[in-house]
Amino acid sequence: MIFLRNESFRTYLRLYPLTSFFIGVNTVAMLFTTVLGWQNNPYMLYAYTSFAADFPLQDRWWTILTFSFVHNGWMHFLFNMFMMYLIAPPLEQRLGRSRYLLLWLWLIFTTALGLYALRAGAAVGASGVDYGFLGLYLYYMWRGPRWLDRQSESVILAFIVLGAISTLIIPGVSIAGHLGGFVGGLLFGFLFARKRWERSAWERRFY
């Protein structure tokens, strides 16, 4: 099982520096918007940080990035960060830092593209990235190098099913954003994960 996070805080930071950095950025953004009072004033939160197909991007160019690091409420934030904490580290180790950074930027882009293509309303949150991770895992299970054990594959499938159900039944959830991220993860697999890589140091720890 590759999703058991039993590392110490210091070890986690050392092994997964980019994941730690992105969780840190999300945390700082959450604290910042809380101190500003934007968590109690959604109009300000969405006006300055969200991405929306109907808002002119030239007037709010920064939102192409900020929307993915800002959350509407602590439950929204904690759930997304917990998912990231669990499922992102194996991808960082597998891809290497440069490709993992590319994955992040790609998933932010495809999430925004999903919002734009489906003319969705204003959205914030890192869930598009989390769904992109699930999409990439699904690619590995389907077409890519089979490096996931059966327990880990079952966890991914469970996350995908539960994620799809929650996306459809929970009010206010961005279907377009989740779909854009998930499809982006699959596409990343086809575009960048088809080479036969040598077994990483992370893999040698578990196999």
* Joined tokens for residue 44: 């300000």
* Joined tokens for residue 116: 């734009």
List residues with catalytic annotation: 127, 178
CATH homologous superfamily of domain 9-206? Rhomboid-like (1.20.1540.10)
* Per-residue model confidence (pLDDT) at position 120: 83
**Residue the block writes with tokens 């590392």:** 7
* Interatomic CA distance for residues 181 and 109, integer angstroms: 8
Phi, psi of 143 (to 5 degrees): -125, -25
* Per-residue model confidence (pLDDT) at position 206: 43
Q: Are 96 and 63 in contact, with CB atoms under 8 Å apart? A: no
* Per-residue model confidence (pLDDT) at position 112: 94
Residue ranges for the chain with pLDDT beneath 50: 196-199, 201-207
Residues 56-67: tens digit of each pLDDT: 667 788 998 999
* Joined tokens for residue 136: 């990439």
- What's the predicted TM-score (pTM) here? 0.90
Where in the chain are the domains? 9-206
Residues 167-205: tens digit of each pLDDT: 999 988 999 999 999 999 999 999 887 654 434 544 444
